[in-house]
Amino acid sequence: MKPMLLTNATEIPLGKNWLYETKYDGFRCLLEWKNEPILKSRNGKILNQMFPEIINFCYEIQERISPYLPLTLDGELVYLTNNFQSEFSKVQQRGRMRNNEVIEANAKEFPCHYIVFDLLEFKGESQTNRYLTSRKQQLSHLFQSIEIPSSVNYEDANRIQAIDVYENSELLWKKILVHNGEGLIAKKSTSKWSSDKRTVNWLKVKNWRYVTVILFKYDKENGYFHGGVYDEEKLVEVVTFKHGLKEDEMKTLTAFFQTKGNKLSANIWELEPSICVNIACIDFDGKKLREPRFHAFNFEFQAQNCDWKHMQRQLLPIPQTIKITHPDKPVWPASGIQKDDYLFYLQNISSYILPFLSGRLLTVIRYPHGAPGESFYQKNSPNTIPDFVTTKLVDDIRYILCNDVETLLWLGNQLALEFHIPFQTVKTKKPTEIVFDLDPPSVNEFTLAVEAAVRMKAIFDQFELKSFVKTSGGKGIQLYIPLPMDSFSYKETGIFTKFVCDFLVEQEPQWFTTERLKKNRDNKLYLDYVQHKEGKTIIAPYSPRGNDLGLIATPLNWDEVSTSLKPDMFSIPAVLERINKYANPFHDFRQDLDAKSFAVVLSQLKELTK
């Protein structure tokens, strides 16, 4: 079988007989499972070798799923960046890999999901002649039976998940726009499944982004026009296109190039940068706009303003629900970062920071005139807030819960520059992680924080405890040990944190101290374990700081914690570049948590303190 194909549409069809799903950008493929699971691409290519995390997950659930085999599922192989958006380039790169070691390393750093939206074969019986609603119900029952998620969650380690189905297209479309997803798929509830057939019963509506480029070249041989943007005063090509032009527009542009342009060869003319056009596309792959189409001339836009930064903002527009004020306001003047740059950072980092902000009583530090400068802590929610903002009343304080990207951007527009969070969510009174704060006397002694972090890691490894590390965004380092939900009290974790810090001080009293008063620390690194209590807060991973450079509290890989590490390496531009190149070191923070190791350590420490 080959997957049934979708038909492009410009408008979302409405009516009770339509169902709606998110359109993800990945590899369409079937999962055929008789004796062994086989991932088969649209062209019949076997993808098992390239996506071992999916196949390994299949074997993990084999015992649960075996009563329902043979089974065939229809879905999309994706790398999720949030619940409504996936990154095609990560899947594309994986599909080109052949070396097993490289593939395994990539699968660990950038694990993909298989998002299932149809059930074609169940217990060896074909389901293709049944209505879509019937197939969906059967799929839902199957996933509930074998305990596989029936909803998409980019943080979930379950590599196979069922797609979310909406009856309200407006609700789904809004979520897609807010999360910058590729588009929406509308399916008739009575549609049947036909192999390798393009059908009008399945329609795809794309979320087009509109990018302004400068026309500078025309190739008569293939009829393509070339467009670019300025990158540090150099014109860089980002698109070649001819689709979307009406016949008269094509003739006008061709004539203009041939009469006003500089003829470079028999078929190629070049123009001085002057004419700007808007191009509709679905994304940018790092070199070219994807699926480009001519949209309109933009005679009002000045060519010199058509630059890389402007293109990036057009590719990632601010959601219409957020009203931005003074986007050109300087926020970190020393770094040349304006408010729009800051909001752009928050959009890009949202899927990294929100897992730590969501469901926690938030304290922010606002800098109304930019940083550094006048600032104030804010715990209490303003009286007037947008409908999408969630709050919770605790001890006469109405806290904001930053549960989504809209709330994050709303706070960013108010110049909330620092996001501080407690060590537990609102669902529990117990800590969900242990955090050690390694605070050197100044940035000049940052190597002391590195030394302490490495020594603590050795202790954690000895106790078989999973640990993570990040810069504080200031002069120090912070270490994390994630805990299973509702497992240990603050009193119990306090026994452990005190032991570790006291042990380090005993080992190296000339370097480390647990003395709370700065005047008594003698220029030593302060090991702060007292701060780890209910009601206390810590700077969230990926939060900026209100210092001159706007440094970021940046998660690190443990092999980066060395004498070459410097806190000023992690500015907003540097972290944006970093997340585009490397995996998030905290991506598996909540995965595979087991209370057993920490319980054993705690039991031993309690015996020692008797």
CA distance 110 to 78: 10
For residue 489, give Cα distances in angstroms to 423, 434, 477: 11, 11, 24
* Region at 358 (left for phi over 0; alpha for psi -120 to 50; beta for the rest): beta
User: Is the Cβ–Cβ distance between 222 and 243 less than 8 Å?
Assistant: no
CA distance 119 to 27: 17
DSSP state of 50: T
CA distance 107 to 50: 9
Helices vs. strands in the chain: H and E counts, helices first: 14, 35
CA distance 5 to 42: 10
CA distance 261 to 265: 12
| Vertex 384: Cα angle to 378 and 389 (nearest 5) | 75
DSSP codes of every residue in 68-103:
G-SEEEEEEEE-EEETTEE-HHHHHHHHH---HHHH
| End-to-end Cα, the chain, rounded Å | 68
**Using omega within 30 degrees of 0 as the cis cutoff, is the peptide bond preceding 372 cis?**
yes
| Residue 459 burial (C-beta neighbours within 10 Å; 0-12, 13-18, 19+) | middle
Enumerate long-range contacts of 412-415, CB under 8 Å, 24 or more apart. 412/339, 412/342, 412/343, 412/346, 413/322, 413/323, 413/324, 413/325, 413/339, 413/343, 414/366, 415/331, 415/339, 415/366, 415/367, 415/368, 415/370
For residue 507, give Cα distances in angstroms to 18, 137, 358, 542: 68, 62, 38, 32
- Please indicate whether residue 123 is annotated as part of the active site: no
339-357 helix and 308-315 helix, angle to the nearest 10 degrees: 40
User: Is the Cβ–Cβ distance between 480 and 469 less than 8 Å?
Assistant: yes
CA distance 270 to 260: 9
| Vertex 438: Cα angle to 434 and 439 (nearest 5) | 135
Q: Which of 2, 23, 392, 430 is catalytic?
A: 23
Tokens of 87: 């990154």
Tokens of 260: 């006003």
Tokens of 329: 């306001």
Enumerate long-range contacts of 10-14, CB under 8 Å, 24 or more apart. 10/205, 11/205, 12/169, 12/173, 12/184, 12/186, 12/205, 13/186, 13/203, 14/169
Which of the residues are catalytic? 23
